């Protein structure tokens, strides 16, 4: 896959789908079956590799972190593909939920004063 610059998560998901398809990993007898459990495990493994970048340094190795974060995101994009999840929509919905669950600094204090 040549270096690409993505403007949207949808473009990233499409590129990941093409990458997997071109390697035959969707085939039933693939050595890298694209099953949700396998992809979820891969996300977890790659997330641990992010932590490994900090094993001997509080600041970590930025190149190592960048590469491992990219792996986490690529596996997440592929898991979303396999499950039919539109990441842009899922992230927008989650951010809106988090905005409700976790008020901005100062908002919680203001609301508690109003309730008194």
pLDDT score at 2: 67
pLDDT score at 114: 60
Give the CATH class of 9-85.
mainly alpha
Give the start-to-end residue ranges of the domains of the chain: 9-85, 89-116
- The two structure tokens encoding residue 100: 């409700």
Inter-axis angle of helices 62-83 and 9-22, nearest 10: 80
Q: pTM for the full model?
A: 0.84
Would you say 46 and 72 are in contact if contact means Cβ atoms under 8 Å apart? Answer: yes
The mean pLDDT values, 10 residues at a time, for the chain of 116 residues are: 82 97 96 97 98 94 97 98 97 95 75 59
């Amino acid at each position: 896959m040549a270096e690409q610059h993505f403007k949207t998560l949808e473009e990233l998901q499409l590129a990941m789908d093409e990458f997997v398809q071109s390697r035959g990993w969707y085939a039933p007898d693939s050595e890298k079956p694209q099953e949700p459990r396998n992809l979820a495990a891969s996300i977890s493994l790659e997330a641990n590799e992010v932590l490994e970048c900090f094993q001997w340094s509080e600041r970590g190795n930025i190149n190592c972190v960048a590469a491992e974060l990219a792996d986490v995101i690529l596996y997440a994009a592929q898991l979303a593909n396999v499950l039919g999840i539109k990441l842009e929509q899922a992230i927008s919905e989650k951010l809106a939920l988090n905005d409700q669950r976790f008020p901005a600094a100062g908002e919680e204090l203001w609301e508690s004063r109003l309730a008194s």
